[in-house]
Every structure is written in structure tokens, then in C-alpha cells.
Amino acid sequence: MSLTAAQRAHCYQLWLQELQQNILPFWLRAMDTSYGGVFTCFRNDGATLLSDNKFTWSQGRFLWNESRQAALIQAELCQGDAAPLLEHARQTADFLLAHAVLDNGHCAFLLDRRGNKLEMIPGEGYDSSFYADCFVVAGLCEYAFVAGESRYFEQALALYDNVRQRLSSGRVRSEPYPAPPGFEPYGYEMIMLSTVSELLRYAQRHQHPALARLTAIARHSLAHVFSDFHQPQTLMPLEMKVSAELSDTLLARHKTPGHTLENMWFCLHTAQLLGETGKYLPAIEKITAMMWHMGWDKTYGGLFRYVQADGSPPSGRLLGGDPFEALIAETWSSKIWWVHSEALYTLLLMADRSDNAEFFSLYQQTADYVLETFPNREHGEWTQIRDRYGAPLNKVVALPVKDPFHIMRNLQLIIALCGQPSEQ
């Protein structure tokens, strides 16, 4: 089964309009054409820019977004001019390489507008999260893929290898919510799978000398997701891999439906690159349906940020003093923008790739909620953080930014999926 021609056309037009009339205009106005990159430190409603500092995390993400948008224009799936987007993307890539990369090969987490390095936590150094490095890798790789400039891929590959060395040594930092001792996050393997998939896509196209190595890493990472971070029989995700004495904690017991839904499309994309779709699709189907039903708020609609396996509020023994633990307890019922945009793409992708007609129904239910809840018709883009009832919250999620990545990326992926003939 795949999406019907009518379903494909409707979804393409719906999300093309949202991207081109609401999301892109906001971020095109936010681009820094003097130094490169994008301003992201807006209030949640988008009305006020609070700072012109630049989080490397978001700059790498926007580099991916603007490069992918240029590719969609080149493919005649979106309107616009690809040339200025690629010109600014190159400026952003050069800004990051000139200012964000430290002497040790790590990426600084925070820069000012001109590229001067800032400490996120005073006295803790510049390189406080390997996630920032991974997003710079993804952005550089996408720019190299679209623009055909190989030196940016080589820089991306060097940064990626540095991250792998840190992870293998156990000396890796992951602010703003570091994992406490004894906890191995699902998110570590998830971001590394996504990152190597970006590199593998480029290496396959250009038959790069690193192709065999990246293929082996991607194959191992994909298998590792299912063997170590999902229970063998039920496929229930383990947000934290822990020893038995920590299994009763809130950190070990909680689930993050949006994260797992996002990772399912990572897994399917990687499996497609490896030619192993048939091997993983049944598990991906089961997990996708499980996580949507687990996370859906049956009273008010939308997906909860955090739940327990039965869909109830997270609970468990508290370590005390851990910032991520506090985040789970305090914000579990929030309705967060990225959770919903990831669900939209994952559900549509599964509707197109699987034989289960339920996925399109789940997509429609999610899309109705999204369009009623998130778009900000006054200032543009989406009001990204809502409470359980859909009311806007002016709160920080991970970083004090209004991040461009998830909505734009997911809509770009939907447009690519629905704007072309079925692969089946």
C-alpha cells in the first residue's frame, strides 16, 4: 500500500502552503546576512528578538534547512530562488567553520553575533554539548550534498569522527540536560544514527573513500537501536539504558513519544540507504503505532511530552537535583511543537510505506490538532510551546531559542515525499 494520488496531492498542497506562507517568511527575515547564520533568540510568540547570540546547535540546523530548501526549489517542488539560499548557506557554513570549531576539534556551544565564543555555563568551557557538533555535521553535509562542494563534507566527516572518539572514550558532554552516571540515553544512539545517515547519503552519491566505513557504522548503529534500546519482545523503547538498581527511577521509567517517533523515520531512512527496509519495517510499524497511542491525550488531543509506558503521567524514584528529572516532572503534559511535526512526517511516511491503513487516520487526527493549535497567524511561524489545553506558554525548551529546525525540516520532508510519485 502507499498514499493514494489524492492523499498525496492534498498533503503536498497543505504543507507546501504552510511552509511557504507561514514558516519560511519568518525565518528568511531572521537570517543574518552580515555575518551568516540566523537569529533564533525570540520569545515563543515570535514577536520579540531577545538576543542576537547564536547557539551553534540551531545554526547547524538552519544550515541544513536552507540547503534543503534550495534543493526543493531546484527540484521544482517549491517556489523561489535557490541561489540566494545557497549563497547564505555557504556564508553560514563558513561562519561556523571559522568561529565554532575549537582547537580540540570540538564545537563551541554558543557564539555572539560576530562569532566570539561564549560560555553557556560560566567556567565550564565552550564545548558543552556534542549534540551541537552533530547538528553542525548535518548542516555541513547537507550543504555539500546540495551545492556539490566536497570540502564541506570533509570538514563534516572530521567533526563526526571527533564526536565518535569522545563517545567511545566516555568523555562526552551533553548539556543542557547531561545524563547522570549510570544512565545511557536513547538520544545518544539516535543522534549518532541520524548523523551517520546524513554522511552516508553523501558518500553513496559520490562514492567517497569513507563509504565502506560509514556503511558499517550505520548498519551497526541501526541494529544497536533495536537490540539495546527496545525491549526484544514488546519493542518498548528504553529512554535510558540502566542497571537493575536504577530501573525504578523516573529517568529510567519515562517515555518520550515524540523522540521515538522521530527516530523511527531516522531508522527507516537509514534502512533504505542500506537496502534493508524489509528487515526493519515491521518493527518500525509496530513502534510507530505504539508510541502514538501511548502519547496521545485522549481528553484534549495532542501528544504529551513525557509519559509512562501505559500513557499515564511519569513516575518513579527521584535522584534529586537532576535538571532533566525536574523537566520531566514539571512539563510532562506540555504540547510541544517538535513532537507534533515529527509525528506528522513519521505517520505519513508509514502510511506510504506500510500496508496498515491506520497510519493515515492517525496522521489526519494529528494534522487536525496541529493546524488548530500551533500556527501563529499574527507573528508567523508556530507558537511552539503550549500547555495541555493548547494555551501558549512563554517557556524555554532545552535552549532559550525559537528553533527553526523541526517544523521546517518535517514540512520539507513531507513535500519531498508527497510531491513526487510513489516509490512503490
pTM of the model: 0.96
Q: What is the predicted pLDDT for the residue at 2?
A: 86
Residue 401 contacts residue 47 (beta carbons within 8 Å) = no
Neighbours of 67 (CB within 10 A): 28
DSSP designation for 380:
S
Average pLDDT rounded to a whole number, residues 78-94: 98
Inter-helix orientation angle 150-169/186-206, to 10° = 150
Q: What is the predicted pLDDT for the residue at 424?
A: 45
Confidence band of 392 (pLDDT split at 50, 70, 90): confident
Smallest CA-to-CA distance from 317 within 327, 304, 329 is with: 329
CA-atom Rg of the chain in angstroms? 20
Question: In one letter, which amino acid is 173?
Answer: R
What are phi and psi for residue 255, nearest 5 degrees?
Answer: -125, 150
Residue 404 contacts residue 416 (beta carbons within 8 Å) = no
320: left (phi over 0), alpha (psi -120 to 50) or beta: left
422: left (phi over 0), alpha (psi -120 to 50) or beta: beta
Higher pLDDT, 278 or 170: 278
Q: How far apart are CA 378 and CA 419, in angstroms?
A: 29
Q: How far apart are CA 397 and CA 178, in angstroms?
A: 15
Domain ranges of the chain: 1-176+376-424, 184-333
Confidence band of 406 (pLDDT split at 50, 70, 90): very high
pLDDT at 354 over 90: yes
Q: What is the predicted pLDDT for the residue at 1?
A: 62
Q: Do domains 1-176+376-424 and 184-333 have the same CATH topology?
A: yes
Residue 98 contacts residue 115 (beta carbons within 8 Å) = yes
Q: What is the predicted pLDDT for the residue at 395?
A: 63
Q: What is the predicted pLDDT for the residue at 219?
A: 98
- Per the listing, cell 524555554 goes with 396
pLDDT at 285 over 60: yes
List Cα–Cα distances, 170 to 93, 201, 370, 381, in angstroms. Answer: 29, 28, 39, 39
At the top level of CATH, which class does the domain 184-333 belong to?
Answer: mainly alpha
Average pLDDT rounded to a whole number, residues 29-52: 92
Inter-helix orientation angle 130-147/150-169, to 10° = 160
Q: How far apart are CA 192 and CA 372, in angstroms?
A: 34
Average pLDDT rounded to a whole number, residues 289-318: 97
pLDDT at 398 over 80: no
DSSP H or E segment with residue 240: strand 240-241
Peptide bond into 176 cis (omega under 30): yes
pLDDT at 77 over 60: yes
Cross-strand partners of 386: 335, 392
pLDDT at 423 over 80: no
Tell me whether strands 54-55 and 49-51 are parallel, antiparallel or unpaired: unpaired
Burial 142-172 (b: 16+ CB within 10 A, else e): bbbbbbeeeebbebbbebbebbbebeeeeeb
Residue 334 contacts residue 359 (beta carbons within 8 Å) = no
Confidence band of 170 (pLDDT split at 50, 70, 90): confident
Average pLDDT rounded to a whole number, residues 232-261: 96
Answer CATH for 1-176+376-424 from 1.50.10.10, 1.25.40.10, 3.40.50.300, 3.40.190.180: 1.50.10.10
Residue 162 contacts residue 180 (beta carbons within 8 Å) = no
Q: Tell me the per-residue pLDDT of 309-339, one tens digit each, with 9 for 90 and over.
A: 999 999 999 999 898 999 999 999 999 999 9
DSSP designation for 154:
H
Half-sphere exposure of 25 (CA within 13 A, CB side): 13
Among 64-78, 180-194, 234-248, 385-399, the range scoring the smallest mean pLDDT is: 385-399
